[in-house]
Structure formats: structure tokens, C-alpha cells
Amino acid sequence: MIIIIKPNTEKARVTEFITDLEKTPGLQTHLVEGLHTTIIGLVGDTSKVDIDQLRTNDIVEEVKRVQEPYKNANRKFHPDDTIVDIGGIKIGGGHFQVISGPCSVECEEQICEIATRVRESGSTMLRGGAFKPRTSPYAFQGLKAEGIDLLLEAKKKTGLPIVSEVMDASHLPLFENVDVIQVGARNMQNFELLKELGHIRKPILLKRGLANTIEEMLMSAEYIMAGGNSNVILCERGIRTFETATRNTFDVSAIPVLKRLSHLPVVADPSHAGGINWLVEPLALAAVAAGADGLMIEVHNNPAKALSDGKQSLTPDEFDGVMKKIKALLAVDGRVIG
Ligand code: PEP
Ligand code: MN
């Protein structure tokens, strides 16, 4: 971190400021006094330094970060890819997985039929929302505890590990047997929830917020990891832009950028990114080509009657077709699902 001191600042004030900075364990300062400019280089673990607080000091002209504000999620401090293990199913570090299933769990027949079909097509995990973050309070809110029970039923039938979204930390006891806990886009910056998820050891699928930068997403991962849970999977699911032709704008560049900045596995969700059924295939293939470690795809046995996100859901047959293309594209790179 570089702190630029205002011109003509008394030397005593600079000395006093440096003494203060050095009170933080692990931080060292280097003073550079030029003819017109004085700068202080701050080195060590600067992730806990409050840059805005430094800026409020009246002798400070400007503060510039030269190091990212996240440490645990940073590839600089952890050069090897993290591999998250979900009951023997590995993701990251060359392991590619496909998570698929309906937006919402609706009934036993629905979730079990979809689970059976997606497994036959090569999906390695089952998704399904039991607690749904809906824009309208009048829209279907999910089956809640019953939805989790139905997912466990489908897991028993198919052997597929299950992924489901938590919206409130008080619901966590219900997720005891859920294999991967999803943090939805709308909760990416629910910091109290992230802190709670840092205290457990279950894998967390962290979706990018609708209007959040890559750095903000990595800071949210940092919240979970700072609590001791390093099993974090990042998910690019499209962001809000001025474009209205698609539900969101799929930020394909976020995939290689995240993988460069962080060692965590990165998956992409082409269903929420595009919001339209026929867009899922091209976006999924783009994500694979961009180096994603996995995909999350919504599949419904009767999209026209789905209680949420039917428009973007693939039928099991369509999903099967997309999976064939995903496998073929992975093979170009010598990769396989699993
Ligand atoms: C979902 O996965 O169904 C969902 C609500 O996703 P997002 O949080 O990305 O909108
Ligand atoms: Mn959905």
C-alpha cells in the first residue's frame, strides 16, 4: 500500500503517523522523501488496513492499494488450485462437475423424475431450491423444510449429492444433510450469513451478486474463508447491465479473471445469466471454453408449468443434448466430467 503525504506537512506529523501505523502487528513502513513529495510504503499483511480511515487523516493526500484486499481467496498466497471435495466428488484443479435440476423443488415426483433423468445424462450433482428468493412476495416461496426432505429423497434414489440455497442462517440446521449450500446472488453481501457459513465446513457455492464486481465477490468469499471454511466454489451467473434482451449479461470474462485472481473453483450458471432456454447451450459452451470448473443448469420436466424460472429451464431431453455438446467440448481439451 502506498500512502502519499500532502506537500509541506510537518516532519513531526509524518513521524507520529508512521509510529501509529507500525502499532499494527505485521505491518512495516518505508519512508521515501522526495524533493516535493513524501510517500510511505506500507508492507506486510495490509488486508486488515482500513483504507478509508487512512484517507480521513488530514496529512494524507492519497492512498493506493498495490495488493488485493483479500488474502485467503488470493492465488498469490495459494498458487495451487483448490479442489473442493463433495463426498468424493471433486471440483477444481482439473475436475469438472455439472450441477443440474429444477429452480424450485415442487413435489416428490418432480424432483425424483428430474434427478433420474439428469443423472442419466451425466449430471454429477442435483440442485433444487427449497427456500426461494423471489422478487414478489406473492410468488412461490419454496417448500422450505419439506423441499429439503424431497431433495434428500431424490439423493437416496439417485446417489446424487444435493445443492440448495440458504437464505437465513437460522435455517442452517435444516441443511445438515445438504451436500453444498448455495448463497444466492441476492445474498452475496449478506455478511452475517457469510460469517455463519465460515463457521461450518460444508462446501459453499457462492453466486455473484447481480450488481457486484469481481473484487466484491472475492471479498465475500474471503468472509467465509476468514471464518475457517475454505470450501468455497465461486459461481458467475450474469450481472445487471443496460441490456434488456437477456435476463442478465453473462460475464464470460469473469471466469478466467476469477481463476487468475483466486485458486477457488469457478462454475458458471448459464440459466440465470441468459434467462432464456435456448441461450443455455451457447452460454454453457462459452463457459467451458473459458475454463470453468463446472456448470449449474436448470432442468424441469415440465417447464411450462414450473413454479419458478420455467422460461430458462431445459427439458430433460434438451439437457441431454446440451450435455453431449459439453462433453465433446471438454474432450477437445482432454477433459471429462468427474
Ligand atoms: C437459483 O439458483 O435458482 C437462483 C435464485 O439463483 P441466483 O441467486 O443466481 O439468482
Ligand atoms: Mn432459478
Mean per-residue pLDDT of the chain: 97
* pLDDT at 319 exceeding the cut of 90: yes
Q: Which ligand is nearest to the CA of 313?
A: 2
CATH 3.20.20.70 in the chain, residue ranges = 84-332
Distance 248 CA to ligand 1 centre (A): 12
Ligand 1, atom 3: nearest CA belongs to which residue? 103
The boundaries of every CATH 3.30.70.1140 domain in the chain are 2-64
Q: Which ligand is nearest to the CA of 186?
A: 1
Quote the pLDDT of residue 47: 85
* Percent of the chain residues past pLDDT 70, beyond the cut: 100
Q: What is the 3-state secondary structure (H, E, C) of 191-249?
A: HHHHHHHHCCCCCEEEECCCCCCHHHHHHHHHHHHHCCCCCEEEEECCECCCCCCCCCE
Average pLDDT over residues 286-307: 98
pTM assigned to the model: 0.94
pLDDT at 248: 98
Residue 227 in this model has a pLDDT that exceeds 90: yes
Give nearest CA residue, ligand 1 atom 6.
Answer: 184
**Residue 298 alpha carbon to ligand 2 centre in Å:** 7
Q: What is the pLDDT of residue 208?
A: 98
Q: Which of 338, 308, 301 is nearest to 323 (CA)?
A: 338
- What is the residue with the minimal CA distance to atom 4 of ligand 1? 184
Each residue's pLDDT tens digit, 239-267:
999 999 999 999 999 999 999 999 999 99
What integer is the mean pLDDT of 132-157? Answer: 98
- Give 178 Cα–ligand 1 centroid separation in angstroms: 17
**Average pLDDT score over residue span 203-221:** 98
Q: Tens digit of pLDDT for each residue in 43-60?
A: 998 888 999 999 999 999
Q: What is the CATH number assigned to the segment(s) 2-64?
A: 3.30.70.1140
Report the CATH superfamily, name and number, of domain 84-332: Aldolase class I (3.20.20.70)
Q: Can you tell me which atom of ligand 1 is nearest the CA of 237?
A: 9
Torsion of CA 173, 160, 127, 197, to 10 degrees: 40
